A and B are shown apart, each in its own frame.
Chain A
Amino acid sequence: MELDLKPLRIGSIFPAALEVCGLSKAFGKNAALNDIGFTVPEGSLTVLLGSAGAGKTTTLRLIAGLDRPDSGRVVMRGCDVTALEPKDRDIAMIFDNLALYPDKTGFANIASPLSIRGAEKSDIENRVAQISSTLRIAHVLNRLPKTMSGGERQRVALGRALIRKPGLFLLDEPLSSLDAMLRIELRAELKRLQRDLGATFLLATPDFSEALAVADSVIMLRGGRIVQVATAQSLYDDPVDREAARFVGSPEINLLKAVYEPANQGTIRVAGASIAGLTRLQKSLPKGGGPFEIGIRPEQLKLSPLEAAAIQARVFDVEPLGLKSMLTVKNEEAEMRLVIDADSARGHVVGDAVGINVIDGNLLAFDTVSGIRIA
């Protein structure tokens, strides 16, 4: 049976690869997850994004069947698997420490899902050969995991997951043990592999840049609750609240106290300046005006000559980041971060007076108390 790398896709009438509804789990007193519900469409790469302790790994373990939920259902391709043992669910999982069998060779590790299920030798051999050529790890098949490099171990774990062509792949921070350079390389490879196979990935990570880079859609978890479900780009452009805006994006978004005065031509007073002409923001701000918290991404601020600048401030810190540099400026009312290219940053020294203007782009507004997004 030749390994068919492109499974037959009859339009998208498949039911969701995975549906989770009302999932809750508590360890002792603290509620690790309460009432989680989301859907993972067939063939998508969905990312569970959240800081440590947000409930990512708990969610994956409940879906895999390694732990039992206190309440809620896990449905895969229309079958309710909530009560099934992991082996009876059509899933594969990659753990953050990869969990390869230390006493088995690369070949035995990759082949184990098939050999456990009693597939015959010839079928196993050619499927492992196929997978190891795709993942370029044919040279490590007869070696033990401890003799392999980080990247090779990671690919063997992937091979073990892929060999059975399961309906759903669960990946728990698969790239966390790798070097910074290798991590970026393998990200692209993971995404390409997912798309070529048309497989369904559910990947958990605390790293927002990883989420943005690979996700078709992102499910943001905080304190065991789902805060937002959105595509990677709209998670950046349309965060649901202040915390989400702060969590996604580096350097961090500027969150400043501001007041909207619809009466005098809709100017917005922020950081000791009153700025008119922020049309998009003015349209979506509540008509009554009043105080709110404005969210300005670092790339939405630009340096300009003092006379023409809306905001005056002093340079507080210059951090070179290669081609670009991050400038932190301060005045009595506020502290702001902006990103400029390295050459123009070299001209500035801590203490310089600089002028800042706000570019009328996708500015965000949050309710000062609740942090919920209002515009």
Chain B
Amino acid sequence: MIGRKLTWPLAFVLFGALIVSLFPVFWIVMTAIKPPTDWNASPAIWFPSHPTLVNFKTLFDPDAIRAYGVGGVSQAATTSVYGSLLASIVGTVLSVAIGLFAAIGISRYANGGKATPLIILSGRMFPPAAIAVPFVIIYSNVGLIDTFRGLIAIYVAGTLPFSTWMLKSFVDDLPREIEEAAMIDGRSRLMAHLVVTIPLIRSGLLATTLFIFILNWSEFMFALVLSYSNVTTIPVQLARYVTATAGTLYGVQAALAVLAMLPLILAGLFIQSHLARGMTFGAVKR
């Protein structure tokens, strides 16, 4: 638009902003590769003299963790990584599948009444705190506390508004006449959706799937409230380490954090052109 070149002072500001944006990421990665001796140095060490991956090994070795003997922490991160993967993947697949059907329903038939879109959207407006309380109550009565089924149900319902609305905006971009042409060529109404609509929005489908995965992977409060022994996710495990050791288990915690952070950054960058659409329920399309 006002396509003018970048002047020097502006380039300097841009560079400064870049440093501020990336410094924390730099710091946590550095901490993750610091040997235990450098963890608590004062003044803090920026670049570890001899970086090591020992923290990542310690993370998955219960004995090594217990060896630190800090605050009685002994649980390794393996169960939490498994927990995060299971909950996030299953939750994402269900949320996107249900969201896809609802998206086609709202976009093409729109007679699901004005209410449905509102109900689905409002799912996102409730503060987790407001929902966590009744969930604990119901789940404890129904025996879903500390189960993956319970957690996944919340992940699906919590992200349904995003998946429905993001997919709806992709389906809206596709002219309705193409499905109708397929119907006239010999497809039934449902087959027209399966064979024409869905393949034509596959890039949108992938973007939505990754976006929902990011939301589920980074969810913390429900996992915290609903998990005790056999269900843990990475965020919960990280919180447990911090509370148990008052944060002094620097390197190991940073290793877990880096492990959790990387897949999300890659997924996010991969779908960055659709992020605006996802975050705004399809209102802002790049």
Contact = CB atoms under 8 A, between A and B. Distances in A.
Interface in B164-201: 175, 177-178, 180-189, 196, 199-200
Interface string A80-116: 0000011100011101010111110000000011001
Contact of A64 (B182, B184, B188, B199): B184
A86 B178 contact: no
Contacts of B200: 102-103
A85 B179 CA distance: 13
A130 B37 CA distance: 81
A91 B178 CA distance: 16
Interface centre among A95, A97, A102 (most CB of B within 10 A): A95
Nearest to A117: B186
A265 B181 CA distance: 63
A85 B177 contact: no
B120 to A, nearest CB: 23
B187 A87 contact: yes
Interface residues of B, number: 16
B178 A112 contact: no
A93 B187 CA distance: 14
Contacts of A160: 181, 185
Contacts of B177: 95, 97, 99
B178 A116 contact: no
Contacts of A116: 182, 185-187
Nearest to A103: B200
A89 B196 CA distance: 20
Contacts of A101: 178, 181-182, 196
A93 B184 contact: yes
Nearest to A92: B184
Contacts of B184: 64, 66, 86-87, 91-93
Classify the interface of chain B: helix, strand, loop or mixed.
Answer: helix
A100 B182 CA distance: 9
Nearest to B185: A113
A93 B181 CA distance: 7
Contacts of B181: 93, 95, 99-101, 160
Contacts of B182: 101, 112, 116
A172 to B, nearest CB: 9
B126 to A, nearest CB: 33
A65 B199 CA distance: 24
Given A102-B200, A103-B200, A95 B180 contact: yes
A118 to B, nearest CB: 9
A116 B199 CA distance: 16
Contacts of B186: 87, 113, 116-117
B253 to A, nearest CB: 47
Interface centre among B181, B182, B187, B200 (most CB of A within 10 A): B181
Given A99-B175, A99-B178, A85 B185 contact: no
A225 B185 CA distance: 30
A84 B189 CA distance: 12
Contacts of A87: 183-188
Contacts of A112: 182, 185
Contacts of A97: 175, 177
B191 to A, nearest CB: 9
Nearest to B181: A99
A60 to B, nearest CB: 11
A113 B186 CA distance: 6
A293 B91 CA distance: 73
Contacts of A66: 180, 183-184
A146 to B, nearest CB: 13
Contact of A85 (B178, B189, B196): B189
A87 B175 CA distance: 19
A102 B178 contact: yes
B198 to A, nearest CB: 12
* 5 closest Cβ pairs, A-B complex: A99-B177, A116-B186, A99-B181, A95-B177, A86-B183
22 contacts: A64-B184, A65-B183, A66-B183, A85-B188, A86-B184, A87-B187, A91-B184, A92-B184, A93-B181, A93-B184, A95-B180, A97-B177, A99-B177, A99-B178, A99-B181, A101-B182, A103-B200, A113-B186, A116-B182, A116-B185, A160-B181, A160-B185
Interface of A: 64-66, 85-87, 91-93, 95, 97, 99-103, 112-113, 116-117, 160
